[in-house]
Amino acid sequence: MPTAEKIFFNILQKKGKIEYPVQRVNVDFTVEMLAELDKAASELNVSRQALIKTYLRQALDQHYLATELISIEISNAYKLLYNTEIEKNRVIA
């Protein structure tokens, strides 16, 4: 296992860029979707691959944010329900 010193040295050699392991995948797209991707990539002056990676990253980030917000909303709903039950018990007592 590399030491922190070796990792830091490797980062410096690559000018601070951290490289993550890559795994190739095959994805089937319709001709129409490829045309849309190519058009968008051309408009942004990037490769199709870069566009797909960027869009997937944005979609995953959006998914995680939505999941987190749902979790927070559920937590807040439970807190509200709990506080309401406490208030009912105070009124009865």
Give per-residue pLDDT as tens, 32-42.
999 999 999 99
Q: Mean pLDDT across the chain, nearest whole number?
A: 81
Residue 48 falls within a domain, yes or no?
yes
Residue 62 falls within a domain, yes or no?
yes
Residue 8 falls within a domain, yes or no?
no
Residue 22 falls within a domain, yes or no?
no
Residue 5 falls within a domain, yes or no?
no
Residue 3 falls within a domain, yes or no?
no
The whole-angstrom distance between residue 9's C-alpha and the CA centroid of its chain comes to 29
Secondary structure class of 83 (helix, strand, coil): helix
- Could you tell me the residue range of the domain that residue 62 belongs to? 28-92
pLDDT of residue 93: 56
Total of domains in the chain: 1
Residue 51 falls within a domain, yes or no?
yes
Residue 21 falls within a domain, yes or no?
no
Instruction: Note the pTM of the prediction, 2 decimals.
Output: 0.56
The pLDDT-based confidence of 8 (bands split at 50, 70, 90) is low
| Whole-number Å distance between alpha carbons of 47 and 37 | 9
| Whole-number Å distance between alpha carbons of 53 and 24 | 12
